[in-house]
Amino acid sequence: MMTERIAVETPVLKKNDEYAAENRQWFADRSVSVVNIMSAPGAGKTTLLEKTLPMLGGRFRCAVIEGDLQTDLDAERIRKVGVRAHQINTTCCHLDARMVQGAAETFEDAMPEVLFIENIGNLVCPASYDLGEHLKVTLFSVVEGADKPKKYPKMFRMSDCVVLNKADLLPYSGVAHEELLRNVRDVSPEAEVFTVSARTGEGLDEWVAWLTKRIEALKGKS
Amino acid sequence: MMTERIAVETPVLKKNDEYAAENRQWFADRSVSVVNIMSAPGAGKTTLLEKTLPMLGGRFRCAVIEGDLQTDLDAERIRKVGVRAHQINTTCCHLDARMVQGAAETFEDAMPEVLFIENIGNLVCPASYDLGEHLKVTLFSVVEGADKPKKYPKMFRMSDCVVLNKADLLPYSGVAHEELLRNVRDVSPEAEVFTVSARTGEGLDEWVAWLTKRIEALKGKS
């Protein structure tokens, strides 16, 4: 079964890479910086965005692409903080470059400078799909356990930044923060790592400062 | 991209269904009851098994198939409570029926009466793959948020039982338990629902009583 699956997945991934290359050019032509936020379900991607967007303080024109199997609850939450959002509903377990292409085009009348993509909640599949983004961020809920970076290494390894969320639950969860940090660094030594609580706001200043700096650097290049 | 993906997935799923049918017959011939436990990463599947297996009190001969992308940490944890475990490591985002077939055969010298399958941590893909199991259990960490059953409905809908775990974190998480229960019941009205903390043991008696009853019923039929 595995060999069959690999055999059929390969052309799909190759086709995706072609769309991702198109996206990269399309984003470059319009000076859009694109941030792909990935995590397991319920790690707090939407809450992180709800808090981060206002903290960027109107410095950049932003928009969000929301990926979900069902509902447009997340896009509604983003619109409530005054940011445009396009909801993708898909039966697929990840967003692919072509879906992102279609969604990005809906913003073309007033292109954002920064486009955030909130991927489908899944710690496995989204890691295989290049979307043409500039920054990959893995969000991880600390209560999922200190061993998870070792068990799901691919997404951590490829990320520019790992945000460890729900730090407010650390004292109650029995999860060893030091061990989790060590496992993140073992798997992904190059990634910037932040420990935050998107809900309480703890640690978000450092994350937003890093993000701002990286976006400014991308804009400087474009 | 979506149509291409569906086109290539369909024969894979059809082939999987054939293996699942073989599994069902193979399990029936050997009087094995099979329980497939699915969840997002870090919801506590291994901890639930570590606590549940001793609580079954030697009533059934048990074994566990562990699915992970990497590491055999989970199989090691199961062996520590005195139960045989077979680790599957796969690059795939779910277990399929053929992988389970190969793993189940490793127990053939002393077949278990109850075979637990701990699926890959993923709230999306495992829901599409019939493994030939008798009971499907979705484990859900309450801190993932009350809205998730609506956003990832398929796995909840097809489950015989939904176990809401990490109840000990409810007071600190800001998640509304009643709303979560309502959403589970809306999506999956037939499923048995338990709220537990696998870590503290809270609520496990009711889950184990239900599981015992269902396994006894399956054995009565075989």
Helix, strand or coil, per DSSP, at residue A16: helix
CB contact under 8 A, B123 and A123: no
Q: β-strand B161-165 against B135-141: which pairing, if any?
A: parallel
- DSSP for B36-70 reads EEEESTTS-HHHHHHHHHHHTTTSS-EEEEEEESS
| Chain B CB contacts of A144 below 8 Å | 40-43, 141
A109-123, A152-166, B5-19, B38-52: least confident range = B5-19
- List, for residues A166-214, the tens digit of each pLDDT value: 999 999 999 999 999 999 999 999 999 999 999 999 999 999 999 999 9
Q: Is the pLDDT of residue B219 over 60?
A: yes
CA distance B61 to chain A (A): 28
Q: β-strand A161-165 against A135-141: which pairing, if any?
A: parallel
Strands (E), chain A: 33-38, 62-68, 84-89, 114-118, 135-141, 161-165, 192-195
Q: Is the pLDDT of residue A10 over 80?
A: no
Residues of chain A above pLDDT 70, percent: 95
C-alpha B129 chain-centroid distance: 12
A5-9, A45-49, A166-170, B120-124: least confident range = A5-9
Q: Return the pLDDT at B199.
A: 97
CA distance B219 to chain A (A): 30
Helix, strand or coil, per DSSP, at residue A97: helix
Q: Is the pLDDT of residue B4 over 50?
A: no
CB contact under 8 A, B2 and A123: no
How many C-beta atoms lie closer than 10 Å to residue B77's C-beta? Answer: 18
Of B4, B92, B173, the CB nearest to A15: B4
- List, for residues B86-137, the tens digit of each pLDDT value: 999 998 899 999 999 999 999 999 999 999 999 999 999 999 999 999 999 9
Among residues A29, A124, A175, A44, which one has the least CA distance to residue B145? Answer: A44
Substitution target from A6, A38, A144 for chain B, most B beta carbons within 10 A: A144
Q: What is the mean pLDDT of residues B125-154?
A: 97
Position B190, amino acid: E
Position B10, amino acid: T
CB contact under 8 A, A151 and B99: no
| Chain A CB contacts of B121 below 8 Å | 40, 123-124, 148, 151-152
- List, for residues B167-212, the tens digit of each pLDDT value: 999 999 999 999 999 999 999 999 999 999 999 999 999 999 999 9
Substitution target from B6, B93, B99 for chain A, most A beta carbons within 10 A: B93
Average pLDDT, chain A: 94
Nearest CA in chain A to B39: A41
Show the tokens assigned to B177: 């338990």
- List, for residues B57-96, the tens digit of each pLDDT value: 889 999 999 999 999 999 999 999 999 999 999 988 999 9
Distances (CA, A) of A50 to A79, A118, A139, A202, B110: 9, 12, 14, 14, 54
Residue ranges of alpha helices (H) inside chain B are: 2-29, 45-55, 73-80, 97-105, 148-151, 153-157, 170-173, 177-187, 204-221
| Chain A CB contacts of B4 below 8 Å | 12, 15
CA distance A41 to chain B (A): 7
User: Would you place residue B222 in the very low, low, confident or very high pLDDT band (cuts 50, 70, 90)?
Assistant: low
Tell me the count of A-B CB pairs closer than 8 A: 161
Of A43, A93, A168, the CB nearest to B93: A93
User: Would you place residue B9 in the very low, low, confident or very high pLDDT band (cuts 50, 70, 90)?
Assistant: low
CB contact under 8 A, B1 and A73: no
| Cα–Cα distance for residue pair A175/B88, rounded to 1 Å | 25
Residues of chain A above pLDDT 90, percent: 90
Q: Return the pLDDT at B5.
A: 47
Among residues A107, A157, A95, which one has the least CA distance to residue A132? Answer: A95
Of B120, B124, B147, the CB nearest to A73: B147
CB contact under 8 A, A143 and B4: no
| Cα–Cα distance for residue pair B81/B75, rounded to 1 Å | 10
- Close Cβ partners of A90 (under 8 Å, ≥ 6 residues apart): A67, A68, A69, A99, A120, B2
For residues B156 and B134, the answer to whether their CB atoms sit within 8 Å is: no
| Chain B CB contacts of A97 below 8 Å | 1
Q: Is the pLDDT of residue A8 over 80?
A: no
Substitution target from A16, A68, A143 for chain B, most B beta carbons within 10 A: A143
CB contact under 8 A, B151 and A2: no
User: Would you place residue B8 in the very low, low, confident or very high pLDDT band (cuts 50, 70, 90)?
Assistant: low
| Chain B CB contacts of A141 below 8 Å | 42, 143-144
**ipTM of the complex, rounded to two decimals:** 0.87
For residues B208 and B178, the answer to whether their CB atoms sit within 8 Å is: no
CB contact under 8 A, A123 and B40: yes
| Chain B CB contacts of A199 below 8 Å | 174
Q: Is the pLDDT of residue A5 over 70?
A: no
Q: Is the pLDDT of residue A106 over 60?
A: yes
Q: What is the mean pLDDT of residues A34-55?
A: 97
Q: Is the pLDDT of residue A1 over 90?
A: no
What is the helix (H) or strand (E) element at residue A179, kind and residue range?
Answer: helix A177-187
Specify the higher pLDDT residue, A154 or A8. A154
Which residues on adjacent β-strands are paired with residue A141? A165
Q: Return the pLDDT at A3.
A: 41
Distances (CA, A) of A148 to A156, A208, B49, B157: 10, 25, 17, 26
